[in-house]
Amino acid sequence: MNYSNLFQKDLIILNAEYQDQNDLFNSTFKSLQSKRLVNASYGAALTERESLYPTGLANEKIQFAIPHTDVTYVNRPFVQVVRLKKPVRFAHMGMSDQQVNAEIVFVLGIKDPKGQVGLLSEIMSCFNDQSFIDHVRTINDSQQMEAYLKDKFGR
Amino acid sequence: MKRVIVACGSGVATSQTVASKVKRILSEKKISAEVEAVDIKSLDHLIKNCDVYVAITKPKKAYGIPTLNGIAFLTGLGMDAEVEKLIAALK
């Protein structure tokens, strides 16, 4: 499956700085809504979903998060990529007593769960790949980042 | 046929991903079982006929069937131990 279309340079935010998760979500929601990728209820739905079922994840190499919510709030599928200057705290998926300091956030706009079932496993294998992590940590131009991600997720 | 149920918050991303990983592992091990991804709200209703529960959210109660840590299948951390439990539960 080719997921490269989900990545667009105007959905890639590098070296962003937010007060906290709320601040990050508000800013993400505004940007997604202005592009009509999500509907007006998406922001509240994303926040509620995250508090009930957090999406922070960690492996030996990196701490990250994959916030997402129900398909009904998504108009068109997307992945918003946010690289944080200062990590933002998320609760760990399935273990809400554990915290994750996410340095990269992939906001998943999933519209077709069955059709996009491979997307998350691709993302997971990327975050286990040191070369991917090095690239995503260091590319400082959103156009270059778009090209890199399109290539990675277009195979 | 034995049944495996995978549940996450919305049934959108994580449970689908974990279910497809579980299916792949079972087919590699030549174990036949049905694997279904559901959202957590449907779990109580759908778990009745299942033999194994792969949990992505923290289980709020015991269902009386083997319960596995679904996050391990997602991140790969600690997955081998969960695979062993899965196989044992389906034998």
The tens digit of pLDDT for each residue in B18-76 reads 999 999 999 999 999 999 999 888 999 999 999 999 999 888 888 999 999 999 999 88
Contact A29, A100 (CB under 8 A): no
What percent of chain A stands above pLDDT 70? 100
DSSP 8-state class, residue A114: T
Say yes or no to pLDDT of B12 above 80: no
Residue B76: what pLDDT?
A: 87
Domain covering B3-90, topology? Rossmann fold (3.40.50)
In whole angstroms, give the CA distance from residue A138 to residue A9.
Answer: 16
Q: How many CA atoms lie within 13 A of A30 on its CB side?
A: 5
Place of tokens 């149920």: B5
Residue B50: what pLDDT?
A: 96
- Asked about B50 being catalytic, the answer comes back as no
Give me the phi and psi of A140, to 5 degrees please. Answer: -110, 10
Contact A107, A50 (CB under 8 A): no
In whole angstroms, give the CA distance from residue A66 to residue A89.
Answer: 13
Residue A45: what pLDDT?
A: 95
Give me the phi and psi of A104, to 5 degrees please. Answer: -130, 140
Closest-CA distance, B60 to chain A, in angstroms, reads 11
Q: How confident is the model at residue A5 (pLDDT cuts 50, 70, 90)?
A: very high
CATH no. of A4-152: 3.40.930.10
Say yes or no to pLDDT of A23 above 80: yes
* Residues 6+ positions from A101 with CB-CB distance below 8 Å: A63, A87, A88, A89
Residue A56: what pLDDT?
A: 96
User: A63-101, pLDDT tens digit by residue?
Assistant: 999 999 989 999 999 999 999 999 999 999 988 789 999
In whole angstroms, give the CA distance from residue B76 to residue A59.
Answer: 8
Averaged confidence pLDDT in chain A: 94
User: A31-67, pLDDT tens digit by residue?
Assistant: 999 999 999 999 999 999 999 999 999 998 999 999 9
Q: Rounded to two decimals, what is the model's pTM? A: 0.90
B9 to chain A: which residues are within 8 Å by CB?
Answer: 49, 52-53
In whole angstroms, give the CA distance from residue A18 to residue A102.
Answer: 12
The distance of Cα A78 from the centroid of its chain, to the nearest Å, equals 9
In whole angstroms, give the CA distance from residue A56 to residue A101.
Answer: 8
Where do the domains of chain A lie? 4-152
Name the residue among A58, A93, A116 with its Cβ closest to that of B56: A93
Interchain pair A60, B20: CB under 8 A: no
Q: Angle CA(A30)–CA(A34)–CA(A40) in degrees, nearest 5?
A: 65
